[in-house]
Structure 1
Amino acid sequence: MPTIKLVIVEDLEEVTEGLSEFIRRDNELQLLSTFRTAEAALLELPLLKPDIVIMDINLPGMTGIECIRQIKKTGLAMQFMMFTVYENNDQVFEALKAGASGYLLKKTAPLQIIEAVKELYNGGSPMSATIARKLVSIFQEHPTGANNEAAVLTPREKEVLELLAKGMLYKEIADQLHISFHTVRQHIGKIYEKLHVQNKTEAINKVYGNRV
């Protein structure tokens, strides 16, 4: 597996130091830099080109969510994982709409954070359990809310996308649908191609945007 290049955007020094220490212990990860403000990150991220940015929401000045929006406009191929104390619906969904592909609470254990980074790099969308439950509850309350964007998808592709939106990992989807991991990846590739998106979050927003 290639080295995963990371950047941390977090204004609390003790949080940054603790997370940095665990990243440096893992030989599959490389910490390129850390920033305390979104403005500083916005200037340097296009030059650093990390694979993943671990981003706080409540930063001095520009928020982490707005920083993601600005970076997404550039078309740079980096993924964002929110790392925050916020777990209310508005913050969660604004972050996902902005383009975040993962959402972890700061109370998450360090080793789980490292595993989440690797999962995100490999195509997953890691979320803390409470956040995943919020998404599940929305789908349970509105099981038929997909918009017309889903019309281009096959029934199986729709099924895979809905399970993805509920926070399930590729392996869990494979087990539930009794198909192989490879087949799940093929379905997801087709979903992205048909919807003209690059990741899970964009696909969910395009199909279920009226709900998330």
Structure 2
Amino acid sequence: MIKILVYEDNPQLREGLTLLLGGSENLKVVGAFANPANIVSDCASLAPDLILMDIDMPEVNGIEGLKRLREVNCSIKVLMLTVFDDNQRVFEALRSGANGYILKKTPPAKLLEYINDANSGGAPMSSTIATQVLQMFSSFSTPPAENEEDYNLSERETQVLQLLVNGYSYKMIASEMFISIDTVRSHIKKIYEKLHVNSKSEAVAKAFKGNLFR
């Protein structure tokens, strides 16, 4: 059972999400609030596995709420669910520790799929968002310096990292490389250790910053 916490200021949408998620066999909504002003205490008392977070909310917006949470907890999965698909908000959310970025127009069945994907270690994004992310990181890429650090990634680890950059979930990587999901997790753990990062978004940013795919 995946325990979900929802932050959405629109009461109709908040109720709709609660009904949709609560009607799924493996999902349970443990709380639904109009903003994340109390996100740290909410998470401490409700112990969610995953948070669905709007961005544009009164008092405390979703990105600020995400930053507050990440100061004390990096294990809870956070999916930004929003109408915004502009580059600045997407990048700020991912840089602040979001595990995925989904548009509100996403069909209900696809939303449920994204939630399960994120809970399994994936980083789901709406297709238009994934395209923007790749374009953004490409534009931030700079030529390698002479003293550029060698992260010592193996050929397989480099391949896994490239698929992560392309937006693949753990399951998709396993299928693409004909390996088990446990092997994918093992590769990703080693990638994080070698790159000195703790999340997919950090790994992707470092991959582009270091021009690891030239």
- What's the TM-score, normalizing by structure 2? 0.85
Instruction: Find the counterpart in structure 1 of residue 115 from structure 2.
Output: 117
> Number of residue pairs matched?
209
Contact 1:9 1:41 in 2 (8 A): no
Contact 2:55 2:81 in 1 (8 A): yes
Cα 1:144/1:161, change in 2 over 3 Å: farther
Q: Does 1:197 align with 2:186?
A: no
Which among 39, 45, 60 is matched to residue 37 of structure 2? Answer: 39
Partner Cα separation in structure 1 for residue 144 and residue 61 of structure 2: 30
Partner Cα separation in structure 2 for residue 207 and residue 61 of structure 1: 35
Instruction: Find the counterpart in structure 2 of residue 183 from structure 1.
Output: 183
Q: Does 1:173 align with 2:173?
A: yes
Contact 1:53 1:79 in 2 (8 A): yes
Aligned-partner SS, 2:111: helix
Partner Cα separation in structure 2 for residue 40 and residue 146 of structure 1: 43
1:58-82 CA-partner distances (Å, limit 9, x unpaired):
1102211111111111135211000
Which among 19, 22, 34 is matched to residue 21 of structure 1? Answer: 19
Aligned-partner SS, 1:34: strand
Q: Which runs of 5 or more structure 1 residues have no equivalent in the other structure?
A: none
Q: How does 1:127-146 map to 2 (within 5 A)?
A: 127-138=125-136
Cα deviation, residue 165, structure 1: 1.8
Cα 1:76/1:144, change in 2 over 3 Å: closer
Instruction: Find the counterpart in structure 1 of residue 61 from structure 2.
Output: 63
Contact 1:7 1:53 in 2 (8 A): yes
Of Structure 1 and Structure 2, which has the larger fraction of its residues in helix? 1
- Code of the aligned partner of 1:20: T
Contact 2:82 2:103 in 1 (8 A): yes
Cα deviation, residue 179, structure 1: 4.2
Partner Cα separation in structure 2 for residue 136 and residue 45 of structure 1: 31
Cα deviation, residue 125, structure 1: 0.5
Partner Cα separation in structure 1 for residue 3 and residue 121 of structure 2: 15
What is the percent sequence identity of the aligned residues? 38
Cα 1:145/1:7, change in 2 over 3 Å: farther
Cα 1:59/1:26, change in 2 over 3 Å: same
Moved more, 49-58 or 181-190: 181-190
1:151-190 CA-partner distances (Å, limit 9, x unpaired):
2422332331122122112233334445444432221121
Moved more, 49-58 or 150-159: 150-159
Contact 2:3 2:27 in 1 (8 A): yes
Q: CA RMSD in A?
A: 2.6
- What's the TM-score, normalizing by structure 1? 0.86
Cα 1:5/1:198, change in 2 over 3 Å: farther
Contact 1:149 1:195 in 2 (8 A): no
Partner Cα separation in structure 1 for residue 123 and residue 150 of structure 2: 20
Contact 1:39 1:62 in 2 (8 A): yes
- Code of the aligned partner of 1:200: K
